[in-house]
Structure 1
Amino acid sequence: VGPRLLPFQCDLSGLWRNELRSLMEIHEVNDAGEFSGDYLTAVTATSNCIRRSPLKGAQHDTKQRGQPTFGFTVNWEKFSNSTTVFVGQCFVDDKGKETLKTMWLLREEVGSPGDGWRATRVGTNVFTRKRNVERGKILQQHSPPCDAPTPTPTAQ
């Protein structure tokens, strides 16, 4: 096999996992670079049941850049009073392995401007693609059963 003439292109759509074992599923990226998906965090500062949360974002045109930058917002509305924004870049190595290097800001709702000092967290995550996974609505089957009914005690 001869040398590869075209560089690998990054495709954000699919299932990704970061080093903390959080899962992110990005649905198809449209022609304008916009995408949506779901995020299932593996870590949280809340004691509430973790739920799958919606994400929306955009990336630069991959036809012009093989390793595009992107950004997306996750709204934790279903179990937390915070929002996280991620920015990052997709890197593809010479074997075609895709990695998303990201930085994020999380803003938690606070009661007053004076509490703003404790409202924002900053961090980084590295996501790798989960291979051999059927695309589309995957995180629904990974979400914890938050609404499972509590068993009723039975008389014995």
Structure 2
Amino acid sequence: ALYCSHALVLVTSLQAALLAPLPPYGLPCDLQGLWRNELGSNMTISALDVAGTFSGSYQTAVAVTNKQILVSPLQGAQQPPGTKGQQPTFGFTVQWQFADSTTVFVGQCFVDRRGKETLEMAWLLREEVPSRKDTWKAIRVGTNVFTRVK
């Protein structure tokens, strides 16, 4: 029984070490590349310039439209890594090419101890409506988690 409890402590300690957040200045998070979310939407982010701005494209897998879904451009910026580590916040706007709407995304890039990068995102979509009285149905809010494809 003593051997079994030591093994349980070892396994529990190993799990805690693997799931613990990175210490400050751990592995850096790099936004550039191809990302996919849990719904199957794909996003490509170009290299960031010295100011932290970037562009790219977004191919949504879900939409409330009968039109053909088209790849849409995105423009954004990343905050410089802060004093707490190298897992910066960022935001971007998508100008949908198939709908009269715009979406803004904000998020943070996280890197686990194994080097897996994850983007935790929140978004706000504003759809064009014919009049102010329809504003109540013009806004959608949600979250997504993106992981690196390459």
TM-score, structure 1 normalization = 0.78
Distance 1:122 1:90 in 2: 20
When the two chains are superposed, the root-mean-square deviation of aligned CA atoms in Å is: 1.6
Return the letter of the residue paired with 2:68.
C
Deviations 1:76-111 (A, max 9, x none): 0x2100000000000000111000000000000000
Q: Residue 109 in 1 paired to residue 143 in 2?
A: no
- Per the alignment, residue 140 of structure 1 pairs with none
Amino acid at match of 2:89: T
What are the within-5 Å matches in structure 2 for residues 132-143 of structure 1? none
What is the rounded CA distance, in whole Å, between the counterparts of 1:51 and 1:8 in structure 2? 35
C-alpha displacement of 1:32: 0.5
Q: 2:133 is paired with a residue of what secondary structure?
A: helix
Provide the aligned length of Structure 1 versus Structure 2: 127
Q: Check conservation: 2:119, 2:145, Cα contact below 8 A.
A: yes
SS at structure 2 position matched to 1:114:
helix
Q: Which residue of 1 aligns with 2:86?
A: 66
Deviations 1:12-71 (A, max 9, x none): 000000000000000001110000000000000011000000000000113754000000
Equivalent in 116, 120, 125 of residue 139 of structure 2:
120
* Structure 2 residue 53 is matched with structure 1 residue 34: yes
Structure 2 unaligned segments of length 5 or more: list them. 1-22
Larger radius of gyration: 2
Q: 2:134 & 2:42 partners in 1: Cα distance? A: 31
Q: Which amino acid aligns with 1:69?
A: T
One-letter amino acid matched to 1:12: L
Q: Which amino acid aligns with 1:61?
A: P
Percent identity over the alignment?
A: 61
Distance between the aligned counterparts of 1:93 and 1:31, measured in 2? 25
- Between structures 1 and 2, the one with greater helix share: 2
8 Å Cα contact 1:10-1:62 kept in structure 2: no
